[in-house]
Amino acid sequence: MKIALVTPKYKEDYLTNTIIDGLITLSTETDLTWFCPEGYQSYLPINLYQLNRAEFITFAKEADLIFFCWGKDNLNSDLVNEINLWDKVIYIDGSEPGGNKRFDSIVQQKILAGDEDTRGAINNELLQKCSLYFRREKPYVDGVIPLPFGIERRYLDIYNPTVEKDIDFVCIFGQAEFPPLRAEVKNVLSEFCQAHNLKCVTETTKGFLLSDDKTAGRTEFYQLLARAKVGISTGGGGFDTARFWEILGNNCLLLTETIDIYEPTSKALTYDRIYQFSNLLDFDQQLKKLAEILQHSYPPANLESEYNEILAKHSTKARVLTILEACRNKNLIS
């Protein structure tokens, strides 16, 4: 199978990286071949998979599928138009409202109305033109398939089941300016842990994603998660956030803002290790439940078996396989 991946022009996008990570894994395990155009900057080892524009267009015209990835202010529409094979195009929409706008009722109304000048709205033109449309954030109107971030291979770099889980809670965000809930849960957690003699970490010494040395900050963060019993996640500019998947990838219990990734009837994230809260009162109650578990019945008996199931169903490889299965169901590939 051949897949042409139209990346954003230059700026990184988390969902694009999710797909790239899954494609790299599949290309080492199967006969799948994929390429993307030059120019996209990523931490992933993509040099071997990049072609110049002319070579990429030639490859795309021969490919079985064309994955067209959203990019913030750098959507590569010109390239897809030049290829002009829309019956093979699968749109992968990683957009979000951004900032604190997912809580803004006016922004929500515009997104629901399909106002394409509002960040995070569905691209109705591409919904009509593309064979399939995948999207990481609601709304999921008819023809739109949920596709959140997944557990990237780098999230697993530090975790080792033989390393002691000696930190009770880790609650660290790349930015805490928005939404306000992020700063609020940190404060409540710190006070709770101090009162109940529990160990929590709410900052890295390297300044995760805020210092000049981003690699060192991220490595330290994963070292902390690998030792954590519980990780805490709240959404940012969109609900779906890398933090959610990094925590699950390090075999932690997860305390998260009420999950709003799939449709309400979905069982895709029904796991014993996930505890949810909708406000600070809920958060405090869940902390009390978790404190009881940590002090008397940790680790849970099913921790490892559930972890292996999560890795199988929510890896980046699994995300790409979800796309391919939908393509088969629509007879785009055999």
Angle at 326 between CA 92 and CA 64, to 5 degrees: 75
Element counts in the chain: helices (H) and strands (E): 11, 12
Q: Which amino acid belongs to residue 301? A: A
Q: Which CATH architecture has domain 154-314?
A: 3-Layer(aba) Sandwich (3.40)
Please report the beta strands in the chain, taking only residues with DSSP state E, as ranges in sequence order: 2-6, 33-37, 50-51, 65-69, 89-93, 132-135, 144-146, 167-170, 200-201, 228-233, 253-257, 274-277
Angle at 257 between CA 251 and CA 263, to 5 degrees: 95
8 Å CB contact between 283 and 291: no
- Of 201, 120, 193, the closest CA to residue 165 belongs to 201
- Domain spans, the chain: 2-150+316-329, 154-314
Edge-to-edge strand ranges of the sheet holding 228-233: 200-201, 167-170, 228-233, 253-257, 274-277
Quote helix, strand, coil % in the chain, to nearest 5. Answer: 40, 15, 40
Name the 3-class secondary structure at 236: coil
What CATH number is given for 2-150+316-329 in this structure? 3.40.50.2000
- Of 317, 295, 172, 306, the closest CA to residue 252 belongs to 306
Count of CB atoms situated within 10 Å of the CB of 81 = 9
DSSP, res 153? G
Edge-to-edge strand ranges of the sheet holding 65-69: 50-51, 33-37, 2-6, 65-69, 89-93, 132-135, 144-146
Do 154-314 and 2-150+316-329 fall under one CATH topology? yes
8 Å CB contact between 18 and 36: no
- Which whole-number Å values give the CA distances from 209 to 15, 173, 220, in the listed order? 18, 9, 11
- What is the rounded end-to-end Cα distance, in angstroms, of the chain? 10
d(CA 258, CA 261): 9
Tens of each residue's pLDDT in the chain, 334 residues: 999 999 999 999 999 999 999 999 999 999 999 999 999 999 999 999 999 999 999 999 999 999 999 999 999 999 999 999 999 999 999 999 988 888 889 999 999 888 988 999 999 999 999 999 999 999 999 999 999 999 999 999 999 999 999 999 999 987 777 788 999 999 999 999 999 999 999 988 866 554 444 667 888 999 999 999 999 999 988 889 999 999 999 999 999 999 999 998 999 999 999 999 999 999 999 999 999 999 999 999 999 999 999 999 999 999 999 999 999 999 999 9
8 Å CB contact between 255 and 234: no
Omega cis (within 30) before 299: yes
Those residues whose C-beta lies under 8 Å from the C-beta of residue 294, and which sit 6 or more positions away, are 168, 198, 229, 230
pLDDT at residue 211, as a whole number: 42
d(CA 233, CA 321): 26
**Residue for token pair 């780098």:** 154
pLDDT at residue 243, as a whole number: 94
User: CA 135, 139, 144, 148 torsion: positive or negative?
Assistant: positive
pLDDT at residue 63, as a whole number: 98
Q: What is the dihedral of CA 217, 218, 224, 228, to 10 degrees?
A: 150
